[in-house]
């Protein structure tokens, strides 16, 4: 049996290469990722431990009920999106999956839009993860070393300065870039470790708070709906004339809110803070956590049995996170010190506030390390996915600088320039969106719009009976007769969250997307639609020539080689 295993793996890889050739692409990456590692990458990016950073965001608007009811609600709808994507991943196992699916299902225009949304989403989610890790590290040091939060820092002002956080973010990004550049095997091992770290970490935190925690609230506390921060206050800032009011904030630039001026009665609605409004705004807490699971599709060209394993990776990463994340949220809610929602939500890092007010200094430090390492692992996995998406679009000459971004290292078989360039962009974007919640909203909306386009096209083509769509013959992972209904649920949910997460206090997201949409439309009509052809399948001889050329260059061990 043991002697057959390597031979069977070789046969599976040969089949994967044939599947990739049928889609028109050469096998340039090493296929060293198994089913567990594929799942592990998406699970690491979802990272329920990293997601605890938004614990205070939902809590301040809607109170404990956003964890008790909001998380399972978001989880259910997200599973519909994940299941719809998994079916497509099974049919088209290629890097940059969403973009390629949209091309096959709807043509080059749909593909181009999907690619840009996915790339923007990947950049902003990586930015959000790593700037959050930097903020967490700073907050952890403040608590552990008992430092003042406004401790002066040369060049940056103070320890709590946004630009100091970005500096720390850049420092922690460097080793992530190096690890991703040195081969997918190392990345896969890190992702596997990340799964055990996350699951083990959740269990340790749950057990410590459950048995050693100093505060435990009653059952009724879980269903309390309390607003400790009025949404109007959250959308208010000091204007240039010295008055306060609803505002649009871009870095240090503050102007009166255009949205409040355009919609009569919006200010009154926000001031009244009805439950439906605050609960909807609070859902960003859960929905941002459920991003990045398209990573399992983006590493399909490095996955063995990609048609099956990529699909399961997409779906299971959400399903497992739903269960583990709910357990963690419930215990954190249960142990809010003295049931004081306002004090917890008002802390710069609410989870640390809960931990340090429940446990001894030693065990609180243990939890801090668990979460900090999880955040770093999450950021590293996000870079893996982001680089593959950008590489895939560049491979089809879809963007400026494609010739550089699509280069593959013959030695490590990784898209090194894609890794480096996208990581730099993820740091730079934080200089624009100088507010963590704005970055999370942008990443959530951009990614989910990219997710829903191929889902919609697949549903549309199936309903019309025209064009390509998933069938029992093309997709090993199938939703069967439930497929259309699941697709519709996913489409409606994405439409809802796109509106909700563009509302104040995340108004910057709305205008950023409108501006971005205008810029992309101008770029498309003026240039791209005449030059961009979409994926261009190569014949078998050309595919083998590319693969052989890369192998020959690998023997010479140059740094990088053109695809």
Q: What are the pLDDT digits (tens) for 382-412?
A: 999 999 999 999 999 998 899 999 999 888 8
The band of 174, judged by pLDDT with boundaries at 50, 70 and 90, is: very high
Confidence (pLDDT) at 64? 97
What does DSSP assign to residue 561? B
d(CA 49, CA 406): 33
Rg for the chain (alpha carbons), in Å?
23
Confidence (pLDDT) at 433? 54
Lowest mean pLDDT segment, chosen from 30-39, 256-265, 427-436 = 427-436
Confidence (pLDDT) at 145? 81
Mean of the pLDDT values across residues 343-359? 93
Mean of the pLDDT values across residues 160-181? 92
The tokens of 367 are what? 């939890």
Cβ–Cβ under 8 Å, residues 219 and 56? no
Distance of CA 530 to the CA centre of its chain: 32
pLDDT tens track for 46-84: 999 988 888 999 999 999 999 999 999 999 999 999 999
Confidence (pLDDT) at 3? 42
What's the mean pLDDT when you consider all of the chain?
90
Lowest mean pLDDT segment, chosen from 118-127, 465-474, 533-542 = 533-542
The band of 2, judged by pLDDT with boundaries at 50, 70 and 90, is: very low
State what percent of residues in the chain have pLDDT above 90: 69
pLDDT tens track for 20-44: 999 999 999 989 899 999 999 999 9
Mean of the pLDDT values across residues 328-349? 95
Q: Is the pLDDT of residue 237 over 80?
A: yes
The tokens of 474 are what? 């093309």
What does DSSP assign to residue 228? S
Confidence (pLDDT) at 438? 66
0.75 cut: is pTM over it? yes
Cβ–Cβ under 8 Å, residues 369 and 197? no
Mean of the pLDDT values across residues 508-526? 89
Mean of the pLDDT values across residues 257-273? 94
Confidence (pLDDT) at 559? 45
Cβ–Cβ under 8 Å, residues 71 and 326? yes
Confidence (pLDDT) at 158? 82
Alpha carbon distances (Å) from 478 to 20, 22, 172, 306, 534 = 20, 20, 40, 15, 27
The three-state DSSP-derived secondary structure of 3-56 is: CHHHHHHHHHHHHHHHHHHHCCCCCCCCCCECHHHHHHHHHHHHCCCHHHHHHH
Q: Is the pLDDT of residue 563 over 50?
A: no
Confidence (pLDDT) at 525? 93
The band of 515, judged by pLDDT with boundaries at 50, 70 and 90, is: confident
Q: Is the pLDDT of residue 436 over 70?
A: no
Helices (H), 341-360: 341-346, 350-356
Confidence (pLDDT) at 560? 41
> Across-strand partners of 139?
none
Q: Where are the domains of the chain?
A: 37-230+273-501+533-556
Q: Which stretch, 331-345, 497-511, 519-533, has highest mean pLDDT?
A: 331-345
CATH of domain 37-230+273-501+533-556: 1.20.1740.10
Helix (H, G, I), strand (E, B) or coil at 112: helix
Q: Is the pLDDT of residue 1 over 80?
A: no
pLDDT tens track for 446-505: 899 999 999 999 999 999 999 999 999 999 999 999 999 999 999 999 999 999 988 999
pLDDT tens track for 366-382: 999 999 999 999 999 99
- Asked if omega into 505 is within 30° of 0 (cis), the reply is yes
Confidence (pLDDT) at 432? 66
Confidence (pLDDT) at 556? 66
Lowest mean pLDDT segment, chosen from 223-227, 303-307, 531-535 = 531-535
The band of 414, judged by pLDDT with boundaries at 50, 70 and 90, is: very high
The band of 423, judged by pLDDT with boundaries at 50, 70 and 90, is: very high
């Amino acid at each position: 049996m043991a002697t057959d295993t390597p031979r069977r793996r070789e046969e599976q890889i040969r089949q994967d290469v044939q599947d990739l050739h049928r889609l028109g692409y050469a096998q340039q990456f090493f296929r060293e990722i198994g089913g567990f590692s594929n799942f592990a990458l998406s699970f690491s990016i979802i990272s329920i431990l990293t997601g605890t950073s938004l614990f205070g965001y939902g809590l301040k608007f809607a109170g404990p009920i956003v964890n008790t009811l909001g998380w399972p609600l978001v989880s259910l709808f997200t599973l519909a999106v994940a299941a719809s994507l998994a079916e497509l991943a099974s049919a088209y196992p290629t890097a940059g999956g969403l973009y390629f699916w949209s091309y096959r299902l709807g043509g080059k225009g749909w593909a181009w839009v999907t690619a840009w949304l996915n790339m923007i989403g990947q950049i902003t989610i990586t930015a959000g993860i790593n700037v959050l890790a930097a903020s967490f590290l700073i907050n952890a040091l403040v608590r552990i070393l008992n430092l003042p939060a406004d401790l002066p820092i040369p060049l940056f002002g103070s320890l709590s300065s946004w630009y100091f956080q970005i500096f720390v973010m850049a420092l922690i990004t460097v080793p992530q870039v190096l690890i991703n550049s040195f081969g997918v095997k190392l990345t896969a091992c890190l992702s596997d470790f990340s799964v055990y770290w996350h699951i083990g970490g959740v269990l340790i935190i749950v057990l410590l708070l459950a048995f050693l925690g100093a505060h435990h609230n009653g059952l009724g506390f879980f269903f309390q709906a309390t607003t400790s921060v009025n949404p109007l206050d959250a959308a208010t800032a000091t204007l240039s004339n010295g008055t306060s009011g609803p505002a649009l904030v871009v870095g240090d630039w503050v102007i009166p809110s255009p949205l409040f001026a355009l919609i009569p009665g919006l200010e009154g609605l926000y001031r009244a803070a009805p439950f439906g409004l605050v609960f909807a705004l609070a859902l960003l807490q859960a929905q941002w956590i459920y991003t990045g699971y398209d990573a399992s599709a983006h590493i399909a060209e490095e996955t063995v049995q990609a048609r099956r394993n990529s699909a399961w990776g997409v779906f299971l990463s959400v399903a497992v996170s739903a269960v583990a994340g709910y357990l963690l949220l419930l215990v954190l809610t249960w142990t809010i010190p003295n049931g004081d929602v306002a004090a917890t939500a008002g802390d710069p890092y609410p989870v640390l506030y809960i931990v340090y007010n429940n446990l001894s200094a030693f065990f609180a430090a243990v939890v801090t390390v668990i979460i900090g390492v999880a955040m770093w692992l999450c950021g590293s996995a996000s870079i893996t996915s982001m680089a593959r998406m950008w590489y895939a679009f560049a491979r089809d000459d879809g963007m400026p600088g494609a010739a550089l971004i699509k280069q593959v290292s013959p030695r490590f078989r990784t898209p090194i320039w894609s890794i480096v360039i996208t990581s730099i962009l993820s740091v730079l974007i934080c200089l624009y969106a100088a507010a963590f919640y704005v970055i999370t909203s942008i990443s959530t909306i951009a990614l989910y719009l990219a997710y829903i386009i191929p889902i919609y096209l697949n549903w549309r083509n199936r309903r019309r009976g025209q064009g390509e769509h998933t069938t029992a013959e093309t997709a090993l992972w199938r939703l069967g007769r439930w497929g259309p209904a699941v697709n519709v649920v996913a489409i409606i949910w994405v439409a809802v969250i796109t509106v909700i997460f563009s509302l104040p206090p995340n108004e910057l997201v709305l205008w950023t997307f409108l501006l971005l949409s205008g810029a992309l439309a101008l770029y498309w009509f003026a240039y791209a639609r005449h030059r961009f052809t979409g994926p261009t399948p190569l014949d078998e001889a050309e595919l083998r020539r590319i693969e052989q050329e890369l192998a020959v260059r690998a023997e010479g061990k140059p740094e990088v080689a053109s695809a």
